Structure formats: structure tokens, C-alpha cells
Structure 1
Amino acid sequence: MSDQTDGGRRLSTQEAARALGVKPATVYAYVSRGQLTSRRDPAGRGSSFDAVEVEELARRSRREAAAPAAGDLSVRTALTLIEPDRYYFRGVDAVALASRYRYEEVAEWLWTGRVAHGAVFTSPPNVLAAAGRAVAALPEHSGPVDRLRVAVAAAAVADPLRFDLSEEAVLGSARCLIPTLVGALPEKGAVSWAGDGRISRRLWSRLTEREPDPDALAVLDLALALLVDHDLAASTLAVRVAASARAHPYAAVSAGLGALEGPLHGAAGRLAHRMLVEVLEQGGAAPVVAEYLRAGRRVPGLGHRLYLGEDPRAAALFARLEGLEQAAPALGAAREVAAVMARQGGLHANVDLGLAVLTVSCGMAAEAGETVFAVARTAGWIAHALEEYQERPLRMRPSGQYHGPRPPRPMPEPDPSP
């Protein structure tokens, strides 16, 4: 019989079993796995269960029953939808959203479904100081992802609330972590525009020595907003696996950074930057493209498996870069590369080529695109971690297909000493 307590309505074991559609023994199995909590009845009549918790577990079970089989590697998400020619954040055209709102506002939309007008992310001084000291201790040749990984680890240690996985706590950590990542990076240019707390403004001085102008800064902010999320890229899947194991948000972001550093993911912008520099130095795209093809290398910045034509993120960046006078040479080089390759099989520009035009034209280093990508995508990783925290723990645990020798095998003997 259900009863009402100060903590809310409670169900008996039998009632919980009926609500879940399982046997009573399975209810206790859920308890042992940490999926339900039970309370012993003071009168000795068995255990009782919180009705809201039982109902939430029943809803999750129904969702998982309706989901594709585990072998299909499909994850339900309400964050990003990708179609052959465009993509959406929570049902809103992502390019239109990023063109209208600042990076922080787009991040808030992805996290909460609300646009927090004028949102500003700030880092506690002690957390920023800890991350800055850790990054400063790295060798000078350290790459951007090296620095960001160390900054995340330092920020995690400085946050005693990192194990609180409630939505409010995770979002609080996210709003502190992103500015900490930016603030911990070494400065290349003089700090100006005091009082401007935008992530794009703070990031600018970490990417180039040049003074920012409003148009260039707007392109950087657009790039950040466009890159917030892109469904289940390799780094995002790594984040969801970590979150499935209930890793705290800092650890989940670290997992994403680890996958991002692969040459087939985050480093693509660096390769496109170097290619554009070669095109500008040689005065044309044809000899550079020919050399890439002759060496059997893929021409960077072109093609995307999810889009039939031009990556909409690249199209949005190119359109905004048209109004940036100093971007004209790099933009012309990028379009020439795309035109040459279009004759060879119809490959179109992707966002890495758009980022490369931005980084080349604003005097940034080749790895700047990687930094922009990682900072931007941190917001998306947090959004996916939040979704995963609402799912059954450890659900992303596929089974291996063993192809080794069949047992039993004899016990191996140690190799003879040399």
C-alpha cells in the first residue's frame, strides 16, 4: 500500500514492481545497481520507494526499450539535428542562431533551452590562478590541447563541488570552466577593451598579437557559436561514455579533449591553415593541390560526410569574412582551392577551411583553429554530459567480439633469461 511521508509519496515493493513492469526481485536488483533507493519501513513491513524516482526509472526504461539495438550505436539526444544541408540546435536553425546571438547565449540555449540575454561567464580568481600556474609550468612547445587539458585538471581540483552532478551544479561549473580555459592560455597580444567580458574578446588576445577590430571579433564570436555542438562527433561520444560512468563534468571534458587531439578531428584546422599559407606563398591553388595529391595526401578543409554540399558552417563564416578587408587574400585562396577540387570529384569546403581563413587573415598561428574549436565545443560537451547524467548509468558498455585463441590454453612459461 502506498503512503505519504514528509519526503513525498512512497510505494511498496509490489507497487514499485507493477509500475516498472518487473518482478519484485528485479526491484531490489535496481537498488543494488544504484538505479533506485529504498527505505526500510520502521514498522518492519518491508521496504518502500520514492514514487517520483520509480516513475522516472519507468520512463527511462520505456525510452530505452524504444531505442535502436545496441549494435546500431545510436544515442537519443534533443540537442543537435543534422540534415543534408543544414543543422539545428534544439530545433532552431544553428546558423541563424549563431548569427544573431553571442557564443555565451548560444551555449545557454543549448544547455537550458533559454537564451540568457547578455550572459557573461566568469571564473573564480582562485580557480583561474590554479589553472594559470599549471599551464605556465608546461614546456614552451606545448600545444593548445595540452594546455587546455592541464587547465581542466587544475580547475577540477580547485572545485570541491565537482562531484555534484545536479543540473544546477554542472551548469555552474561550466560557466566557470570555459572562461578558465581561456584565461589560463598565455597571452600573445596586449589586453585592451577593459571590461569586455565576452569569451571571444578574452580569447582574441590568446590567439594573435593584433589589436581586434569589431568586425574581426564578430567573426571569431560567430565561429565559436557555430562550433558549439555538432551531434556525436568522436570527442562528444567520448564525453558521453565518461558521463555514462558518472565522471564529473571536468573529467568528461577531459575525455573530449583527448579525442579531439587526434589528427582526424581537432587538428584538421591546423592542416587547412598551413595549406592556405602555401597557396598564398605560391600564388595559386593548383600547384599546392597537385603536390598534395601527388604525395597521396588528402587536401584539408574539404568534404564532410554529413553534408551533401558545402558545410553550412563554412558558408556562414565565408559570408561574414567577405566584410573583413584583411581576409580577402585568404578567402580568395580558400575559394580557389575549393574550385580546383570541385573539378576532381565535387568536394566542398568544410568548417576547417572557414576557420583557416579566419586564422590566416588575423595573424594567428596554425594551431589557433584547434584552440577555437576546443573552447567552443566545451559548451556542447557539457550539454551532452547533462543529457547522459539523466540516462541509466554505464549504459554505453558494448560487448567485445573476441577473436583471440580459444581457451583453454596451457599456462605460459617465462622467457629464458638473456
Structure 2
Amino acid sequence: MTDQAGAGGFAEPSAQRLTTRETAERLGVKPETVYAYVSRGQLSSNRAPGGRGSTFDAAEVDALARRTGRREPAAPAGGLAFPTGITLIGSDRYYFRGVDATELARRHAYEEVAEWLWTGELRPGVRFTAPAEALAAARRAVGALPPHAGSTDRLRVAVIAAAATDPLRFDLSREAVLGGARSLIPTLVAALPTVADEAVTQAAAVGDEASRLAPQLWPKLTGRPADEASLAVLDTALGLLIDHDLAASTLAARVAASARAHPYAVVSAGLGVLEGPLHGAASGLAHRMLTEVLERGGAAPVVADHLRTGRRVPGLGHRLYTGEDPRATALFALLARIPEAAPALAAARDVVATTARHAPLHANVDLALAVLSVSSGMAVEAGETVFAVSRTAGWIAHALEEYGERPLRMRPSGQYTGPQPPQPLPVATGEPSQ
């Protein structure tokens, strides 16, 4: 699920200083215009450490943006950029509404992280509940699929079925959207077929914990009993994966919201993009690789086979981080506390070390999810399922933002490269079918 987002390069929140390029992006102007603001006395600057370039106070830049009405940041070369107050990605960490995302996911349940992302308020102990009618419709729809259907197929069908039962789905008010989101996510989880038997399902959670999403999802992923440490990894993974700026699926969700599609359609748009091998399905490739490493007793022959056939080694590298993906770092730390995860974790470290002989690549979150899925006896696509369920909350957060923007603003123009008109009408070839 490597997130190919265009995060822009904003300064870390603790620095409160922006480079000239970052200032230009926030103001939606060219770098030359930034210095014009300085010469007019509208903006102050300091020399950067080492005397290379200037830095600008972030609060002063934001104040100028409000005064000038420059609300749309300039797009970086070859990409798109949209203002968002949800996720900021730095060089080695990322933040949800200004709060360190790894710390937030480590200390709080998935539902609490989702509420923070949606509302900017922390609601300890919040729980999501699936409405009976929506759940029944989703289960019937999922049950009608062939046995070989994948988890993403089931989730897409469940979303459509749940939408059909909600007559208020076209209400795009904030309260209605949030109410639908709080019911849709548990509906998706409950609609998935259960892998574990009833005893394991009941043992996954006891008392109040049974109402949390992670214990409900666990028996959908594996038949093995869940202990507290394993559920902590799953819950943290759900929290970490909620959002990652404008990844491909999130951009698709925002395009749908820009057209004022209802939230269920927004989630459907995100799920459609998620299934690509370069996005949500990437953890499955890492799962297969780790399984092969364990079977062959080492990473060297497996990495060699990937390189010999021109395939990338899955689970390594991320365009937005210079070092290890902070999501992987957080999950590896939790997995290290689980004895059963030790072989898969060692295999993952072996892959990183073997590949590092030739390229300075670090582990990303796909590799960490693969360690979880392999060590827990989960199916190949388990990481994709975790990602899809988690990211649903992020798509909703971006939909809420986009509903407040000008409709249909994401309308790029195509660069036509076909035959120049006027062309003659085509001549039919062959005989018409009888």
C-alpha cells in the first residue's frame, strides 16, 4: 500500500520556519513573488543557517495568505497540490492535525484516531455501531459473491449495499456525513466472512473491548486466537494507516467529493483505486516474499530472484521518507514483543540488510504489515483488508474537507495528441454480423 502522495515539503511543525519554496507553495505564488512581498514590507525573512537562502515565519506567511486571499497553493512541478488541514508529512514522520501520528495511533484506539481526524476532538472510549438494516443488506450482498472473490471485492459490494439502505446518503451536511461514517466502517468489517470459529471469535474480545473495531476485525483475518499484544498491533496498524496525505486512492475520493458524490460513493472511488498493485495490494507482494524467505531459509536467494527477473523487492523504499517509514518503525516495535512474530520479523530484517548491499532502501509499512499477516496465519490479502478498512476513515475526512470547497474544481484539461481535425468519416471494414 505504498502511498504515492505529493506531500509538498512543508517544514516540521516544531521548526515554525519555511523555506522560500515552501512559502511560495503556501501562498500559491512563484518564489520571485515571495521576495517581492519582502521588498514591499509585507513579509520578513531571515537568512537560513549556513547563509543559503532565506527562511520565513510560518504564522506570518499564513497571515499574509489570509490577507491576500491566496487560498490555492501552487502545484509543484508535474503534480497537483490542494490545501488540507488533515495530514502533514515531514522527512521522517507524519502528523494528523499537527499531532504526531505514530504517537496518536500507539496511545489511542482506531475509532479515537478517526474522530480526531474528522473533528479535531479526542473522544476517549468512542465506539462505532453497524445499523441492523445496513448490516443485513451488506451481508446478503457479500454472501452472493463467488468464493474466490477478494476482500476488496467484498468491501466494495458491502459499501453499495449499505448505501442503498441509507435514504439520507445525499445529505452532505457535516453531521449526516459523520453519522454515516460511524455506521459504515463497522458494517464493512461485520460484512466480511469470518475465518475463525466461534470460540476464537468470542475470545478475540471480552466485555467492553468486544465493541472495538480491531477485535471485530481480527477473526475476519485469521483463525488463530488473538492475544492482547496481537490486537494492539492490529489496532495500531489501523490507526497508522487512516491517512497519508493525497495518496492515489485519496485523490480519487476527493475528486468524487468535488463532484458532490455522497460519502458511500466517495469510499467506493477510493476502494476502486486501492486495488492496484502499487497501492493497497503492495502488502500482499511483501507477504509472499516473506513466506518464500522463511521457506528458503534466507533472503539472499529470494532478493536475487526478484532482481534477476526485473522485479522490485516489495516492502522497501518510500518516496516521501529518506529513512525507514515511521509507520513500519512503530509496528516493528510492537511486533518485537510477540514471540510468534520473531521468525517473520527476522526475515524482514534480512531482506532489508540484503538489499542494502546494493541500494539504500529502508522498510516501508507494507513490509511491517506482511510480518503481521505472515506471523498471524493470515491470508495474503490481509494487509490490503486492514488498509482498506482503516483508510475509509481518511477518505471520509478528505470528503468533509472537499465538500467545503468550490464544486468541480478538480477539472484538468486533456492535452490532445490525436489526429488533427477535420478528418473524413471512417469507412466501415468487414461485413456486418448477422
Determine if the alignment matches structure 1 residue 238 to structure 2 residue 259. Answer: no
- Alignment correspondent of 2:282: 268
Determine if the alignment matches structure 1 residue 344 to structure 2 residue 351. Answer: no
Go from structure 1 to structure 2 and tell me whether the alpha carbon gap of 1:313 and 1:69 turns closer, same or farther (over 3 Å shift): closer
Determine if the alignment matches structure 1 residue 415 to structure 2 residue 429. Answer: yes
Partner amino acid, structure 2, of 1:337: V
Q: In the TM superposition, what are the counterparts of 1:389-408 in structure 2 within 5 Å?
A: 389-408=403-422
Determine if the alignment matches structure 1 residue 86 to structure 2 residue 93. Answer: yes
- Alignment correspondent of 1:166: 173
Q: Shift of residue 84 of structure 1?
A: 1.0
Aligned partner of 2:381 among 341, 345, 367: 367
CA distance in 2, matches of 1:273, 1:390: 40
Q: Shift of residue 412 of structure 1?
A: 1.9
Q: Which has the larger radius of gyration?
A: 1
List gaps (5 residues or longer) in structure 1: 1-58
- Alignment correspondent of 1:215: 229
Aligned partner of 2:316 among 284, 292, 302: 302
The DSSP-based 3-state class of the residue aligned with 1:128 is helix
CA distance in 1, matches of 2:242, 2:307: 32
Go from structure 1 to structure 2 and tell me whether the alpha carbon gap of 1:394 and 1:103 turns closer, same or farther (over 3 Å shift): same
Determine if the alignment matches structure 1 residue 146 to structure 2 residue 153. Answer: yes
CA distance in 2, matches of 1:173, 1:346: 44
Aligned partner of 1:293 among 279, 284, 307: 307
Q: In the TM superposition, what are the counterparts of 1:112-131 in structure 2 within 5 Å?
A: 112-131=119-138
Determine if the alignment matches structure 1 residue 258 to structure 2 residue 264. Answer: no
CA distance in 2, matches of 1:108, 1:228: 11
Q: Give 4+ residue runs of structure 1 displaced > 4 Å after superposition.
A: 69-72
CA distance in 2, matches of 1:151, 1:225: 22
CA distance in 1, matches of 2:367, 2:274: 17
CA deviation vs aligned residue, 1:28-50 (integer Å, no higher than 9, x gap): xxxxxxxxxxxxxxxxxxxxxxx
List gaps (5 residues or longer) in structure 2: 1-65
Partner amino acid, structure 1, of 2:425: M
CA distance in 1, matches of 2:165, 2:98: 36
Q: Shift of residue 222 of structure 1?
A: 0.5
Identity of aligned residues (%): 70
The DSSP-based 3-state class of the residue aligned with 2:88 is strand
Partner amino acid, structure 1, of 2:359: G
CA distance in 1, matches of 2:90, 2:148: 40
The DSSP-based 3-state class of the residue aligned with 1:88 is strand
- Alignment correspondent of 1:179: 186
TM-score, normalised by the number of residues in structure 1: 0.84
Determine if the alignment matches structure 1 residue 105 to structure 2 residue 112. Answer: yes
Q: Shift of residue 405 of structure 1?
A: 1.0
Partner amino acid, structure 2, of 1:346: P
Aligned partner of 2:163 among 140, 156, 159: 156
Determine if the alignment matches structure 1 residue 381 to structure 2 residue 395. Answer: yes
**RMSD value, Cα:** 1.5
CA distance in 1, matches of 2:383, 2:75: 37
- Alignment correspondent of 2:329: 315
Aligned partner of 1:95 among 99, 102, 108: 102
Q: Shift of residue 415 of structure 1?
A: 2.3
Q: Shift of residue 67 of structure 1?
A: 2.7
Determine if the alignment matches structure 1 residue 225 to structure 2 residue 239. Answer: yes
CA deviation vs aligned residue, 1:160-186 (integer Å, no higher than 9, x gap): 000000010000000000000000000
> Size of the alignment, in residue pairs?
359
CA distance in 2, matches of 1:354, 1:235: 21
CA distance in 2, matches of 1:194, 1:166: 36
CA distance in 2, matches of 1:165, 1:302: 39
- Alignment correspondent of 1:6: none
CA distance in 1, matches of 2:276, 2:82: 22
Q: Shift of residue 63 of structure 1?
A: 4.7
CA distance in 2, matches of 1:247, 1:156: 12
The DSSP-based 3-state class of the residue aligned with 2:69 is helix
Go from structure 1 to structure 2 and tell me whether the alpha carbon gap of 1:161 and 1:361 turns closer, same or farther (over 3 Å shift): same
Q: Shift of residue 364 of structure 1?
A: 0.5
Partner amino acid, structure 2, of 1:296: G
Q: Shift of residue 72 of structure 1?
A: 4.5
Q: In the TM superposition, what are the counterparts of 1:36-51 in structure 2 within 5 Å?
A: none
